[in-house]
Structure 1
Amino acid sequence: MTSTAAPPAETSRTAEAEPRPQGDRRFGLPVATCLVMGNIIGGGIFLLPASVAPFGTISLVAFAVLTLGAVALALVFGRLAQRHPQTGGPYVYARAAFGDFAGFLAAWSYWITTWVSNAALAVAAVGYLGVLFPAVGAHKWSMCLAALTVQWLPALANLAGTRYVGAVQLVATVLKFAPLLLVAVGGLLFFDPANLGPFRATDQSAVGAVSASAAILLFSYLGVESAAVSAGEVRDPARNVGRATILGTVGAATVYLLGTLAVFGLVAHDTLVSSQAPFTDAVNAMFGGTWGGTVVACAAVISMVGALNGWTLLSAQTPYAAAKDGLFPKVFETKKRGVPVVGVVVTVLLASALTLYNYTAGSEGVFEILVLVTTFTATVPYLLSTAAQLYFLLSGRSERVHRGRLVRDGVLAALAFAFSMWLVAGSGYAAVYQGVLFLFAGVAVYAVMAARRRRATVPPAG
């Protein structure tokens, strides 16, 4: 299919300065950084140490490799945001480089990722709520109601305006990181090397063990693009988006690595392999007693609510940017108090419908497949963004800078592209197959929107 050529970035509607309603506030660097960290670190960190423990401490090597890839991707997003500091992130970059169709695919795939992931986060949060309030887990309908509540509260914060989104994100990030840092930093004081277990606990080769553990860890860094997607809501985006992306990614990586290392040294390897709550076991090992479960459950719920708050905003930003360019229905362009309200409402309705389907149909297998698909759909914007950066550098469209800087940016873009390809490979054949079907469904939507644009711009013949 031949895509309609994208207008130059200077004349694209997404590039225009957006009027800000009176009293509306943009995010500063601290809140933008919290948005990145909060979206990267959802609820998975509370299970990660136990998930990779069967491979041995070699999994920490995989974590280090993945961290380097994530930082390279963050640096690329920072450079792209300097060039195109508009709301939409990957959509804006792909469209500027390759035209409308590529931009639409980036927006479509990212949108799918956000609302399916929101449903997954809400369902996962119910498990931790059941620890704090046993009545929540007593029946599937009480669990369903709790999951819907967890989805709609962040949505209401978003509808109230960007200042409330920022406030919730800042508070959630601080409260979430307090217990995580307690284990990540304080746990090192109780560290016992005897608990680490073997370096390679499987019969696989070193390369095979690293790849196998990386397949589990690969998706821990999804969310590095958060500040870039919301660039239009960040003060001085050309400067702050890149800084927030790098600071947030490095901060999340530090918590991941230190937290996993601390748990490895606090909980005996044989116990950790079968643990259902590794951070709970770590806190109990540090201080004794069984109150660690309550602490970790509170941190997990706060973590997921904060992630839902940030992802809900992102879920509306990309359709908003695409709608301004006529690639999504115009209704998604509606914005109040700095928030694309229609995008927020439609996204939370879709996530709620998927949640209801999950509980009423008992379709746990189907739900897990859909969640796995998001790991593939999330990488499509990453690949298009890194390819766009390579295009800008190689086509001479990059700003005139020292040759050494061009080489550095080119190497970073190549590493980030390779990292994104690794994410696709780690998704598995089934997820890629299902994800491609999701992408192809969007082709029909693009055809309708492209036809509408042509009718609006080309006078009828005769």
Structure 2
Amino acid sequence: MPGPDRTAWLRRKPVTAMAAETGADAGREGGDLKRSMGLGQLAAIGIGSTVGTGIFFVLSEATPEAGPAVVLSFVIAAITAGLTALCYAELASAVPVSGSSYSYAYATLGEAAAMAVAACLILEYLVSSAAVAVGWSEYLNALLEATIGIRFPDALSGAPGAGGVFNLPAVILVVLCTLLLIRGVSESARVNAVMVIIKLGVLLLFVGIAFTAFNVDNFAEFTPLGFGGVGAAAGTVFFSFIGLDAVSTAGEEVRDPRRTLPRALMLALVTVTAIYLLVAVSAVGAQPWNEFEGQEAGLAAIMGEVTGSAWPGIVVAAGAVISIFSVTLVTMYAQSRILFSMSRDGMLPPLLSRVNPRTLTPVPTTVIVGVAVAILAGLIPLDVLADLVSVGTLVAFSVVSIGVMVLRRTAPDLPRGFRVPGYPVTPILSIAACVYLISGLQWITLIVFVLWLGVALVFWAFYGARHSRLRASAQETSEEESS
């Protein structure tokens, strides 16, 4: 079977075509998504998918890599996320559709690049949903043990390689999120907004109590593992900033997207960064850095040590259970919308862009995402999942920054609700920061990522390139011109 023709690699989807597809008169068999979210709900999606992942359990992974300088690792990751968020804000205001950086790459770099970015996003959201579900399992056990004295058996609380056989609590969480997403985006957004308020309250409670036990001596040897450790930890904690990307996946379900998307991105970034730094500083100040390694339900354990009583740890564990539920909900939502966009473009089977006429949600896609996440969450350990999420996120973020520069040249007059300040320095710095963080990840992670990317491009060559709606449209135009 011959491969795709040479022009297929570079064919780009016009922004005007993307905008037309989001209208009520698009006339597609699958149907359209419903514009029902405002600024508050959209910002809550960004905060909800971000605050919780890093703070509630990745801190225990990153602090042993950097020591007290893990605070600096969060600053580096936040700067990288901030530079990228500015680029996202411009593209989201110019191309306000579902699909996030996949759609942006399709409009700016071409079909093959879009498929590669889609592979990054699938890795990012599929694996991150599983990773946070695994973390939820740890906190649920901590909460059950502290309140009613029972917990799930070890064999049913961890994946093979992590002391267990199957992570049942993680799978239960995924099933609950899948059912809620099937009901509708408005219901999911309202539930998420409530969870965001609860989690911010719990984290601020942690900060207040942890600062009462703050010991400046815990920062005396600030970089015990050198700046190489700071960079490695920054790559690990960057996993915590994927919520910014989740905001842009909701482009077709937001009212007034050209104004709302950029504002929601900036609001989410500022809130997330402030919370992360407060919790990181107070946690390291309350507990020596070398005690973080291997610590399950870390923030709850710190609260117990600081206060000498059980109730603060119970509150934090309960907050984490609620918080990580919202993270899983949003990352699964984002994954389903990316697959929806790809299917609508012909890059995946048409079943994945079918919308339920009653709930106006892509039910088949949501169910498939739920099954895939449940398998990963039940069988793969947390440390393996976290680094894979980081590399997928960073590559996708780099493409967004490149896309800003390409679209400025190819469509300078395209309406934009937001423009990147300091252009072109800002997107260049964003790319450089992403490359720096990628360089700090383990080589085995990069090898797995390259293999995954190769599989995705092979799939595109044998399916996506042949079923692409752009290809079909080009053929129709050619036939009309020749007749």
Name the residue aligned to 1:26: 36
SS of corresponding position for 1:137: coil
Corresponding residue for residue 423 of structure 1: 437
| Aligned residue among 145, 155, 180 for 2:168 | 145
Give the alignment partner of residue 156 of structure 1, picking from 179, 187, 192. Answer: 179
The answer to whether the Cα contact below 8 Å between 2:192 and 2:326 also exists between their aligned partners in 1 is: yes
Question: Structure 1 177/14 Cα, relative in aligned 2: closer, same or farther at 3 Å?
Answer: farther
**Aligned pairs (5 A) from 1:37-436:** 37-54=47-64, 55-134=66-145, 135-141=150-156, 144-185=167-208, 187-188=210-211, 191-202=214-225, 204=226, 207-269=227-289, 271=291, 275-284=295-304, 287-336=307-356, 337-356=359-378, 358=379, 364=381, 368-369=383-384, 371-395=386-410, 397=412, 408-436=422-450
**Inter-CA distance 43–62: structure 2 relative to 1 (3 Å threshold):** closer
One-letter amino acid of the counterpart of residue 82, structure 1: S
2-structure distance, mates of 1:269, 1:121? 23
Q: One-letter code of the match for 1:344? A: T
> Which residue identity does 2:256 align to in structure 1?
D
1:16 & 1:44 partners in 2: Cα distance? Answer: 34
Amino acid at match of 2:184: G
Q: Is the 8 A contact 1:390 1:414 kept in 2?
A: no
Cα pair 2:138 2:296 within 8 Å, conserved: no
Q: Aligned ranges for residues 9-20 of structure 1 at < 5 Å?
A: 9-12=15-18, 15-18=21-24
- Paired with 1:341 and 1:424, the residues of 2 have a C-alpha distance of 35
Aligned partner of 2:458 among 444, 452, 459? 444
Task: Write the deviation string for residues 386-440 of structure 1: whole angstroms up to 9, x where unpaired.
Answer: 1111112345635599xxx777132221122122223322332211111111111
Match in the other structure for 2:163: none
How far apart, CA to CA, are the structure 1 residues paired with 2:210 and 2:219? 13
CA contact (8 A) 1:28 1:235 kept: yes
Q: 1:197 offset after TM fit, Å? A: 3.5
Superposed CA RMSD in Å reads 3.1
The answer to whether the Cα contact below 8 Å between 1:266 and 1:285 also exists between their aligned partners in 2 is: no
The residue identity in structure 1 corresponding to 2:76 is: V
1:150-190 superposed Cα distances (whole Å, 9 cap, x missing partner) = 00111111100011110121111111111101123454455
Give the TM-score normalised by the residue count of structure 1.
0.87
Superposed displacement of residue 313, structure 1: 0.8
Does the 8 A contact of 1:33 with 1:244 survive in 2?
yes
| Contact in 2 for aligned 1:35/1:169 (Cα 8 Å) | yes
Separation in structure 1 between the aligned mates of residue 233 and residue 473 of structure 2, nearest angstrom: 52
Q: Is the 8 A contact 2:84 2:400 kept in 1?
A: no
* Shift, 1:254, TM fit: 0.5
Paired AA for residue 83 in structure 1: A
| 8 Å CA contact 2:57, 2:296 repeated in 1 | yes
Deviations 1:128-149 (A, max 9, x none): 2112235542153476432221
Quote the offset at 1:347 in angstroms: 0.7
2: CA distance, partners of 1:383 / 1:450? 24
Match for 1:150: what amino acid?
A: L
User: In structure 1, what is the Cα distance between the partners aligned to 2:453 and 2:406?
Assistant: 23
Return 267-276 or 381-390, whichever deviates more: 267-276
Name the CA distance, whole Å, in 2 between partners of 1:19 and 1:246: 32
Paired residue secondary structure (1:347): helix
Deviation at 1:274, TM superposition (A): 7.1
Distance in structure 2 (CA, Å) of the matches to 1:163 and 1:426: 39
Structure 1 unaligned segments of length 5 or more: list them: none
> Mean Cα displacement is larger for which, 19-28 or 388-397?
19-28
Q: Which runs of 5+ in 2 are unaligned?
A: 1-5, 158-165
Inter-CA distance 265–372: structure 2 relative to 1 (3 Å threshold): closer
Q: Deviations over 1:27-52 (max 9, x none)?
A: 11111111111111234312455445
Given that 2:211 and 2:282 are in contact with CA atoms closer than 8 Å, whether structure 1 keeps it comes out as yes
Bigger drift between 3-12 and 32-41 goes to 3-12
Q: Percent identity over the alignment?
A: 23
Name whichever of 137-146 and 218-227 sits farther off.
137-146
**Using the alignment, how far apart are the partners of 2:472 and 2:349 within structure 1?**
15
TM-score under structure 2 normalisation? Answer: 0.83
